[in-house]
Structure 1
Amino acid sequence: MLGAGALLVTGGGVLAAPAQAMPTASVPVDFPTHCIPPDIAGIPPIDGTTKAEITVDNSAPEVGDTVTVTYTVVEPAASNPVDLALPADIMTPTGKVAVGGAQTASVTVAGPKKNAPVPGKGAFPSFSMTGTFEVTAPGRITLSPGDYNIHTSYIMELDTPCTVTDPPAPVSQTIIATDGGGQVNERAIRLGAASGGAGEAVTVTGSKFTPGAAVTLAGTAGDTRTADTATVEADGSGGFSGRLTVTDPATTGIVAYEGDTWDPDRGAGPQPYTVTGGGGEGQRGSQRLGTSVEAGTLSMVQDGDAVEMSAVDFGRGGASRGSLRTVTVEDFRGGPAGWSLTGRVTDFTGPGGATIDASALGWTPVCATRTGSPSTCAAGSAGTVGSGGATLASTPDGPLTGGVFTVDARLALDVPAYAAPGAYSGVLTLTLT
């Protein structure tokens, strides 16, 4: 049997600073979850609802700080899949927290081996997992619960992996990171056109400025302010709309700022602007097009959960051979981290309590990379799997990683010549991190 677990120009005028963005308190969220019980349970996958909450030890960190994240599964979607009651302290949960907003990341979290007793077919109790991440950018950072796995160590090692059906799950916690000055400058401007003839006016709209503040619109040429200026007043919400007549052919950008002189901490821009010349060219318009690429998750799918290996004759023994069910790994995170797929196996149990030691199972891994993938998959070394585990496949860290990979392995179990006749089975657990 095969089990699987798978486990973000200078100067300075003095004006009141804009209101600081505030972090939000954590809230429990519900999200649909797809859980795969261990094969030994003999039951189909469970599609249910998980209730979870994300909390942090610091909701207003500075860039460079390390934030501790706690992922609490209040109500798991899965329950004890077997009739056998589970004793206390045999559950070890692991999971992922999705970081979004000002920075994107996938934070690995893990919990202690601690739980209350679980009756047969009873609901799994609430559990918490912790991990850390480093703040790399100022601004609003969101935290959402991700996939999690419930590992049990009782009689045999079993995994119940649960994945978010429609990722990402809802945001449970929002924190506000600063660059060390205690303020996040959220001011922004947008231009009605990216170019125009000399003497034409361009519409400038702004947001998140200080309500009621006088705002200067100005042309720039690199670090130097040009002669083109206009003044508008921000409304009660900090927004404005004004027109700036651009006559200086040296103008290459437009800024907006509060105070007497340009200060990037009290302004926005520059937004690129090109002076195309004056008179006789007619009117021109332009539209800036923008899109975004959303980061995804790291996941794996296997094409089955049972492997039939060849029979071996009593008195002769030798290699019982088979092939691992193909595993497809999809890395759509779009970050710098690689991944590792490892496996470990239990002893093979047979008739009358007879066993074949886990160290008797060996494999020869094979890994293929889909064309166009940024990363290249490397197969693990051929050799013993055993209860201690071995690497099946991996990709290295890099500036930009990701892709689709197929992983296989040839399996061989060294059966002793006089192993008791009958059927033997063991559980091979695959873990993706």
Structure 2
Amino acid sequence: MATATQRSTPRRSAGRRRRWTAALGAVALVAGTAALAGPAHALASAPVDFATHCVPPPIAGIPPIDGTTTAQITVDNAAPKVGDTVTVTYTVTKPAASNPVDIALPADIMTPSGKVTLGGAQPGSVTVTGPKKNPPVPGKGAFPSFSMTGTFTVTAPGSITLSPGDYNIHTSYIMELDTPCTVTNPPAPVSETVVATDQPGANERSIQLATASGKPGDQVTVTGAKFTPLADITVVGRAGAAETADRTTVKADAAGGFTSGLKVNDKATTGIVAYEGAAWSPDKGAGPAAYTVIDDTPLPANSQKLNSSVAAGTLSMSQAGDTVDLSAVDFGTGGASTGDLKTVTVKDFRGGPAGWSLTGKVTDFTGPGGKIDAGKLGWTPACTTKQGSPSTCVAGSAGSVGTAGATLASTPNGALTGGEFTLNAKVTLNVPAYTAPGAYSGVLTLTLT
């Protein structure tokens, strides 16, 4: 760019200035006629041709040009899950025209930007940009190919199509010029299709017992919630990690709830679980809920039974505050708005075999510019176990939170669980570059089960 600037001097003749202007106009035009293309309803990325209409800067003295461009869209993940971020690459393989003048054009003068149109299950658009990079173009030579990239977050399951949208080419040679281009017959053909699937949500199934103890042969009422509607549920006793002979089955109602009576005969039973399917799964089960079988075996003659008890407590959660102020980002740049989740303390004083799980879901962030999608909020969880606790907490995986939810931390089931735990997380909101200025707020809801 220094060379180009040095060449532009007040002593140039009017003829030379006109020739440079023509060259600049040609660069802006041909870069501008490049766009995305692809065969309609393609299942895999492929190059295609489509028509574009570009308007060079007035100083170029060149009328608008309608031409055909060959281009291709590719993605880094054609089978994402809801909440995943997909990187889109828009490559122009054959621009519509060549350098129409004899003057060679220098390297690194073109910066493309534009939009990729999303359709199908997730209508919208993706902003794509390219680096300021191109090889020298000889006089009357063909213009080189170039690529632009951008990202979008998947918000809905199903087939999502990617087609070219309007774009602009900025040139920096002698002067700064822009060439806006539009798709002649929108929407342009589909160049790529991704098929998104639902992100597995957090397990919110739960059970409660009408009583926490009983004699051998007593029946305990078990109530369940948030199971799959009309699913077959197995309710069974547990002795540590092993199932006992105490078992029954029940069908969930249309809302996913159930009430069942379980007769407990096995003196080894220390807890009760409920699950969908043929065998226990932490993803489709709830519990164990602690249960004690009171041994009523008659005492020998001349003996006394001495009874003491340890009262079971509750599973509870508290947090150090309810407002997190994330760092600000700049309009036009966007990026990571970061902060720290208010510290959460979990106390498990139940004294049974059940572990716990703390999950979070977040709403979209709303503000003066509309909304920032909930899927753009990610976190990196951390947890600490207080010394002496029977259980050890495990932090959830780093990644997107979104409306589907994610796990902040959990403890496993065991013969005896419990303790005190401190939970934290680094949170990051990925703000799009041109989000309207102002304050945006979303609500993160934590659920302990």
Normalising by structure 2, we get a TM-score of: 0.38
Q: Between Structure 1 and Structure 2, which shows a larger proportion of helix residues?
A: 2
| Higher relative contact order (CA closer than 8 Å, sequence separation 6+) | 1
